[in-house]
Structure formats: structure tokens, C-alpha cells
Amino acid sequence: MLEVQDTGKGMSQQFVREELFAAFSQEDSFLEGTGLGMHIVARIVKTFGGKINVQTDQTGGGTCITVVVPLETSQPQYKTEASQMTLEPFSGLTAGIINLDTLDITTADYKARQLHLSTVTKCCNQQGIKTAIIDNQDLTRTTNLNIIAEQDLLLCLQRWEGNKDRTLRDTMTAKPLVVLCECIISERELRLRVDIVFSDQPVGYVVQPCGPRQLHAAIRSILEKQESMQASNSLRAESQAGLGAMDDPWNGARLSMPIRAHSTGESSQHSAGGKKFSPTFGNPKPTTVPADDPKFPIMVVEDNHINLQLLVTYARKQGLPCITAENGKQAFEAYKLAHEDSKRPSPSPMPRVVLMDINMPVLNGFEATQAIRTYEIEHSIKPAKILALTGLGSAEAQREAYTSGCDMFLSKPVRLKELTKILEDFKTNAG
């Protein structure tokens, strides 16, 4: 049994009886979404022979949905690739989990906050990270990095305006930060504000739901960025120290000549020290499959293992070579690698179509698309067709996709017949 309860405005009894489980049905059409959620849930529950009970109150009681499904406990006979993946632990790392929000302990929001903090703490501990909950009275605790939820970060930004809380600002901006965002849209808005404040420290963003892999990837990313920034600062200091000062033959003054070091920045291919970057999991490698049309490969970018396998299986059945990646950074690296391979004596064709998920760790789909488009311009590459695949059906999300360089916007769940027609059109137009 699974029970979900909210404190929203509820639904009318007529809507519950007649339209709640219908596809593309919303009682309030001005809200975000496609109206497919309950339709899909109902079909799944019906398949398993279960039942759904809905209790709703439009006078302020919210809605409670109870799902009962008869299931048998079974032992898996094999382990999937995802279950076999192990995350490299962070030895000796400490993280402060920021908790600045003051909520009434009797409210549902407080209970949700405590559950959220507990989940993040568990994910960190599983990866060898020692954690400490940091509140308003304990901001000076020594840690290697901080983790903060979106609502707490908004409180921080509000308190920083006009230098109202300089101690909080100095403490927070002195360490790398991981921000747990509620959705992809709020992540984009936070980036515009946070990256200005944290100019000297790397910041990573994780969009909910936050699991061990997403958190691991974000922490790994900011640690690599921190190492790169430190190496760049060290190089700059050594260059300035080696140059020293020159005597001015005219007035005997000392002339200081700063040298601009080549910044390692946020290079996605090399980290500090010239070491090759290698993702901890899901290294992007071209997948060799029997292909009816080997000149029309596609790339599938998806952080959900099940969705990834579904699309890979679809590509195999269509006879299309397929390259896979599990986050935006891997997708960009795989695209660059395919371009390098295409220039060799026995070239492999580059992806002609990219199926790009949007909500992903490290780099989301918008950022990955922007990086690919920039790379195509810099190297005079014929642009690939990039299809944004996302559950975000809002006009703002679509606008963001097209602004980033996507050619099409498809809402999940994607109809494979529709996708087949789109790919056929692309192949026809490509000649």
C-alpha cells in the first residue's frame, strides 16, 4: 500500500468521478503539467490488479490518494548493470548540511524537511562522507564543502542583500557548495544569482529527486573544479613570483608586470595536472549494434537507466547505431569524441540526431545543448538535430529548450511511433 497526501486546494467530486484518470485531463488548465500522471498511474495499478482510492476536500483538507497493489516478494536471479555500479567513496571528506529554515515542528513542512535532511545525510554517509547539520548557531564549523537546499539558499541570498549578514556570506562563500534544487526551472534562476556570489568557489546543482548517483556526480564535479581553480591560482602566483619586478631606467621606480595565466577554467576534458577526466560511472562509448543505416547514428542522453535502456532497445530495433551518455557532460564529451573519430582514416559517422533528456546531473540538457552548439560553430560542423525529451510541459521550459539550441521539444512519455516518423523525416531531409 502506498498513500500520498497533500494540503492543496483539492478537487471537485465531479472531476474525480469523470476525468481524474483520463489522459490529458486537468481541472485547472492554468497549472503546469500535461494531465498524464494519474492516467499512467491508473493504467499501471490496473495492470497489477490493484485499486486506487481518492479522498479530496475543497475546503482546505487537501487530497489523499491510496494505492493498493498485490505484489509478491521475489529474489532477483540476476543483477542489472545499474545495481552493479559502485560509487567511488570520498575518503576523509566532510560536508556541512545547511539547515537555516525555522519551521513549526507540528507542520507537515517540518516533517518533510527532516525527511529530506535525513535522506541527504544517508546518501553522503554511504559514500564515506562525514556530515554535520549546520544551523544559524554553528556556521563556523569546519567542513570541506556545504550542501544546501533551495529554500535555505534563498534565505541566505535574502540575508546577504545589503551585507545584512556578512558572517554568513563569508562562511558560505569560502567553501564549495552543492545546491539541491526543486526543479529545472528554479535551478536556472538560481544559477544567475549564485554564480555571481560564489565567484571564487565552485558550485554544483542537483535537481530533485536527489539520489546517491546524482549527489556523487555533483560532489565529484565541484571537487574537480576546485582542484582546477587552485592549480590555476597557483600557476598565476608562480608566474608573477618568477617574473619579479623590473627596474625602471627612467625614475628608479619598480614596475610590476602581471602575467595572465591560461586558465584551466571548467575544462570538461582535463583536470588540474593534465590528468584525463574520466567519469566515475557511465563513460560515454559508442554502442556497436547491427545497423541498417550505419550513416545515421543517434545519441541517447538519459540519466534514468530504465528510460535509457528503452531508447537503446528502440534504436537497435530501428537499425540505428547508438551512442549513450548518462548526463550532459558525458554527452558533450561523447560528441567531441565522435567528431575526433570522424577525422581519422577509418572514420565513424557523427551523431545525426541527439535525444536529450533535460533533468540531469552535472550538466543538464539545456547546458549540454549549448555546449554542443558552441562546439559545432567553433569547428564548422554541420549541426545535429537535438530533440529535448522532458516531463516539463510548461511554455517556459519549451522556450528555454529552443533558446538553448534544441530543434524540437517532446514531452514524456514519448510516443515511439511519433519518434519514428520524426527520425524518418530527418533521414529524408538529410538525403
Give tens-digit pLDDT for 249-281. 434 433 333 333 333 333 333 333 333 333 333
∠ at Cα 205 (200, 209), nearest 5°? 160
pLDDT for res 387: 92
Q: Are residues 62 and 14 in the same domain?
A: yes
- Residue 119, amino acid: T
Among 185, 218, 251, residue at a domain's last position: 218
Q: What is the pLDDT of residues 26-69, one digit of tens each?
A: 888 777 777 888 889 998 998 888 999 999 988 878 899 999 99
Core vs surface per residue 95-131: b (16+ CB within 10 A) or e: bbbbbbeeeeeeeeeeeebeebbeebbebbeebebeb
pLDDT for res 285: 43
pLDDT for res 267: 34
pLDDT for res 331: 92
Joined grid coordinates for residue 303? 540519466
Q: Are residues 301 and 414 in the same domain?
A: yes
pLDDT for res 102: 66
Does 383 fall in a domain? Answer: yes
C-alpha span between 310 and 376 (Å, rounded): 28
Q: Are residues 307 and 402 in the same domain?
A: yes
pLDDT for res 223: 86
Most confident of 12-16, 210-214, 232-236: 12-16
C-alpha span between 230 and 290 (Å, rounded): 46
For residue 136, name the pLDDT band (cuts at 50, 70, 90): low
Among 218, 239, 263, residue at a domain's last position: 218
pLDDT for res 120: 87
Q: Are residues 53 and 116 in the same domain?
A: no
For residues 321 and 312, the answer to whether their CB atoms sit within 8 Å is no
- Residue 95, amino acid: A
What phi and psi, each to the nearest 5 degrees, are found at residue 152? -70, -40
Q: What is the pTM of this model?
A: 0.43
Cβ neighbors of 190 (< 8 A, separation 6 or more) are: 150, 153, 179, 181, 205
Does 269 fall in a domain? Answer: no
Q: Are residues 119 and 159 in the same domain?
A: yes
Does 421 fall in a domain? Answer: yes
For residue 154, name the pLDDT band (cuts at 50, 70, 90): confident
Does 224 fall in a domain? Answer: no
Query: 86: number of CA atoms within 13 Å, CB side?
Result: 4
pLDDT for res 163: 58
User: What share of the chain in percent tops pLDDT 70?
Assistant: 74
Q: Are residues 59 and 183 in the same domain?
A: no
Q: What is the pLDDT of residues 368-385, one digit of tens each?
A: 999 999 998 888 888 999
- Residue 379, amino acid: H
First-residue to last-residue Cα distance in the chain = 54
For residue 238, name the pLDDT band (cuts at 50, 70, 90): low
C-alpha span between 363 and 369 (Å, rounded): 10
CATH number at residue 118: 3.40.50.2300
| 403 torsion bin: left (phi>0), alpha (psi -120 to 50), beta (else) | alpha
Does 257 fall in a domain? Answer: no
For residue 405, give its domain range: 286-430
- Residue 137, amino acid: Q
Domain count within the chain: 3
Q: Are residues 64 and 193 in the same domain?
A: no
pLDDT for res 284: 42
Computed over every residue of the chain, the mean pLDDT equals: 76
Question: Which one has a higher pLDDT value, 387 or 295?
Answer: 387
Residue 218 has pLDDT above 60, yes or no: yes
Least confident window among 12-16, 78-82, 116-120, 186-190: 78-82
For residue 359, name the pLDDT band (cuts at 50, 70, 90): confident
pLDDT for res 237: 65
Q: Are residues 169 and 45 in the same domain?
A: no
Does 388 fall in a domain? Answer: yes
pLDDT for res 276: 36
Q: Are residues 188 and 117 in the same domain?
A: yes
Q: Are residues 185 and 294 in the same domain?
A: no
C-alpha span between 340 and 277 (Å, rounded): 17
For residues 204 and 178, the answer to whether their CB atoms sit within 8 Å is yes
User: What share of the chain in percent tops pLDDT 90?
Assistant: 11
Q: Are residues 57 and 144 in the same domain?
A: no
| 243 torsion bin: left (phi>0), alpha (psi -120 to 50), beta (else) | alpha
CATH number at residue 42: 3.30.565.10
Q: Are residues 58 and 132 in the same domain?
A: no
Q: Give the chain as a 3 state SS string.
A: CEEEECCCCCCCHHHHHHCCCCCCCCCCCCCCCCCCHHHHHHHHHHHCCCEEEEEEECCCCEEEEEEECCCCCCCCCCCCHHHHCCCCCCCCCEEEEECCCCCCCCCHHHHHHHHHHHHHHHHHHHCCCEEEEECCCCCCCCCCEEEEEHHHHHHHHHHHHHHCCHHHHHHHCCCCEEEEECCHHHHHHHHHHHHHHCCCCCEEEEECCCCHHHHHHHHHHHHHHHHHHHHHHHHHHHHHHHHCEEECCCCCCEEECCCCCCCCCCCCCECHHHCECCCCCCCCCEECCCCCCCCCCEEEECCCHHHHHHHHHHHHHCCCCEEEECCHHHHHHHHHHHHHHCCCCCCCCCCCEEEEECCCCCCCHHHHHHHHHHHHHHCCCCCCEEEEEECCCCHHHHHHHHHHCCCEEEECCCCHHHHHHHHHHHHHHHC
